[in-house]
Amino acid sequence: MHSRNFFRTRLLFVSGFFFAFMNLAIAQKFEAGVIAGLNTSQVTGDNFSGYNQPGFIGGLWVSRQINEKAKLVMEMEYLPKGSRRNPRPDDFDFSFYRLRLHYIEVPIIFQYKIHKRFSLETGLSFGALVGVYEADENGPLVGNFAPAEQFKRSDISFNAGINWLIDDRWTFNVRSINSIFPIRDFQNQVTTFLNRGQYSNCVMGRFLYQF
């Protein structure tokens, strides 16, 4: 119950902050719009490889032109992350694993135009964890600590990507997001300086529409 209340409080705080900022931005004649797309993700350190956990993305964005080539963008979006391993019955391997992490992500991105229709981007994002589901072939995982208690409740990630300006309203974006700090410590508590736990990696494709 405590975890659910914490997640709900964090979601309301992040949402309220962003909508207040967006209202101010629109009043100041910033550009604004909506986001929709698809994300694929993996978790390094879980002994599974591959971007096998898909999910849909949705959100809002505001931006401010700095000069002719540079722009600062702030977003708020629902971003599913996680990991997945499907059974391989042809190899008599029936093991299964699925991790779904539901984040409200707030990226702050610097974009630089390299062509009249293309720009590069980089920046940081703050993620608030609002839901967790973890299961294997036997069903949802349970134990001394529920999965919601094992994962860090916030995340900071490095973002890098490229944008294609389709027309005056539509942009297509490809972005990579990689957590800087572990999203969960190793359960055996064995860490090294360069490997301190599990990290989230995402690759996404998104359409952005300007109002």
Tell me how far CA of residue 144 lies from CA of 62, 82, 131, 150, in angstroms.
43, 22, 19, 10
The pLDDT assigned to 88 comes to 78
The pLDDT assigned to 185 comes to 85
The pLDDT assigned to 86 comes to 79
DSSP 29: T
> Would you list the DSSP string of 95-151?
--EEEEEEEEEEEEEEEEEEETTEEEEEEEEEEEEEEEEEEETTEE--SSS-HHHHB
In order along the chain (211 residues), what is the average pLDDT of each group of 10 residues?
A: 53 60 61 96 84 93 93 94 84 82 94 96 95 85 62 94 97 97 77 73 97 92
Model-level pTM? Answer: 0.82
The pLDDT assigned to 1 comes to 45
CA 87 from chain centre, in angstroms, equals 26
The pLDDT assigned to 35 comes to 97
